[in-house]
Structure 1
Amino acid sequence: MGQTNKQLKRIGIVAGGPIERLVNLADYEIDYWIGCDRGALYLLNNNINPNLAIGDFDSVDEEEFKVIKSATENIQIHPVEKDLTDLELAINAALELNAENLFLFGVTGGRKDHELNSIFLLERLIDLDLKVKIVDQQNMISMYHPGQYQIIHSELYPKVSFIPLTKQVSGLSLMHFYYPLTNQTINRGESLTISNHLIDQTGHFSFDSGILIVIKSSEQSD
């Protein structure tokens, strides 16, 4: 493999969601790529050879599977009938590699059950102190435990929304935002913290309790 696990700081997982929602994968500095089922083919289409391809491969045909198999360092084939989704298998493989930053591509825009489950998977991963982002053409989604955080302006995703995963998030403060907040309690389902934006290149947010989803997004239409 040419790398020790300690060097695998940034792992990218590409799943088989709608290809039109996929970003240019070559724009991301990733140490180790995992192709999840059809996601392995997406990597090859972006001129990236997967370090690992994993899944049941029920979303590719025989010829596509031959292409994946011939161009991949390591391939793990699982049965179609299994307890874990292909994405969970890929995430477990990333955890075994001691990833510090995990980027999930191709997990939004398709089946809503898969998309919603992918977002809820973030909660499990932040409990492991892993930095995780879900990325597509229009959104970058991350999740946080209470604390103080810096956020950087993105030309691609200028809008920023703060959404409670838990029923309530307390003590939320937003600094260097167009709509600042100080020690605010927000409830799940309220729209107070939707569609904000930074007024400086960097800003800060902090909160005292709950779990917070942060979504950077663009105004482009689906």
Structure 2
Amino acid sequence: MEPVIGIVAGGPRSHLPSLKQYDSTVTIWIGVDRGALYLLEEGIHPQIAIGDFDSVSDEERNRIMSHVSDYLAYPIEKDETDLELAVEKAVSLQPGAILFFGVTGGRLDHSLANVQLLMTLWKRNIFSKMIDIGNILEIQGPGTHVIMKDEHHPNISFIPFTEQVVGITLEGFYYKLTNRTITWGSTLCISNKLISEKGTFSFKEGILIVIKSRDVL
């Protein structure tokens, strides 16, 4: 069976969901820099720790090294980000899916680049999601897709990743839509909700960012 890989980066701790709730889903945990410490703090021993580890102290680095099977340290000055290195390591393990944690909530340039990483994986036919305390984000291409109701993330938004998304149709949603085209900057498909246990969204051309979300106090 193809493994599900959880990658935990070093974004703000306050933006992380409980990682323990995903421990039964994730087959292999990869801690990226301080993300490896976040895993240890929740009682999860990552199989792999990777990065330049410039955001941890010597004591924390030693703790990480003593609790992982595979410790991969890189120089601070390099072409790839620590997260890119983790993604390439994950891809080499032939995953069925990759779940990202700790990749939002900090620097906006990092967050936007991380969303683009999902696009890179989509092009390689690897399903991936970004998950934080209030959001679950994924990328989808043309076709018909089923989406299930999530009581913890009741709001559903569709945002065009390409300049336009053609022929989007929503079924089973409070706000239905039939064969519409949405473009960059459109708010037409923001903050919808399912009215049954599942719904479908379909479109003919383009790429969508799909976000399930909830308000975080």
| 2:193 pairs with 1:170 | no
| 2:29 pairs with 1:33 | yes
Compute the TM-score of the two structures, normalised by the length of structure 1: 0.95
| 2:194 pairs with 1:192 | no
| 2:16 pairs with 1:22 | yes
Secondary structure of 1:67's counterpart equals helix
State the partner residue of 1:13: 7
Give the Cα–Cα distance (whole angstroms) in 1 for the partners of residues 215 and 155 of structure 2. 8
Structure 1 gaps, min length 5 = 1-6
Contact 1:69/1:75 (8 A) holds in 2 = yes
**Pairwise CA RMSD:** 0.7
Post-superposition Cα deviations, 1:149-186, rounded to whole Å, max 9, x if no partner, equal: 11011111110000001110001011100001111101
For the structure 1 residues 154 and 31, does the alpha-carbon distance in structure 2 shift closer, same or farther, using more than 3 Å as the test? same
Give the Cα–Cα distance (whole angstroms) in 2 for the partners of residues 111 and 219 of structure 1. 21
Secondary structure of 2:157's counterpart equals strand
Q: Determine which of 97, 100, 108 is the counterpart of 1:112.
A: 108
Aligned amino acid, residue 194 of structure 1: I
Compute the TM-score of the two structures, normalised by the length of structure 2: 0.98
Post-superposition Cα deviations, 1:109-164, rounded to whole Å, max 9, x if no partner, equal: 00111111000111111011111100000100000111111101111111000000
- Shift in Å at residue 27 of structure 1? 0.6
State the partner residue of 1:61: 57
Secondary structure of 1:108's counterpart equals coil
Give the Cα–Cα distance (whole angstroms) in 1 for the partners of residues 40 and 2 of structure 2. 20
- Shift in Å at residue 8 of structure 1? 4.2
State the partner residue of 2:202: 206
Q: Determine which of 131, 134, 149 is the counterpart of 2:145.
A: 149
- Shift in Å at residue 31 of structure 1? 0.3
Aligned amino acid, residue 208 of structure 1: K
Alignment coverage as a number of residue pairs? 215
Secondary structure of 2:175's counterpart equals coil
Aligned amino acid, residue 164 of structure 1: P
Give the Cα–Cα distance (whole angstroms) in 1 for the partners of residues 11 and 152 of structure 2. 20
Give the Cα–Cα distance (whole angstroms) in 2 for the partners of residues 136 and 208 of structure 1. 29
Structure 2 gaps, min length 5 = none
Listed as ranges, the matches of 1:40-59 within 5 Å are 40-59=36-55
**Identity of matched residues, %:** 49
Give the Cα–Cα distance (whole angstroms) in 1 for the partners of residues 2 and 19 of structure 2. 17
Give the Cα–Cα distance (whole angstroms) in 1 for the partners of residues 170 and 216 of structure 2. 25
Moved segments of 4+, more than 2 Å: none
Give the Cα–Cα distance (whole angstroms) in 2 for the partners of residues 61 and 40 of structure 1. 13
Secondary structure of 1:54's counterpart equals strand
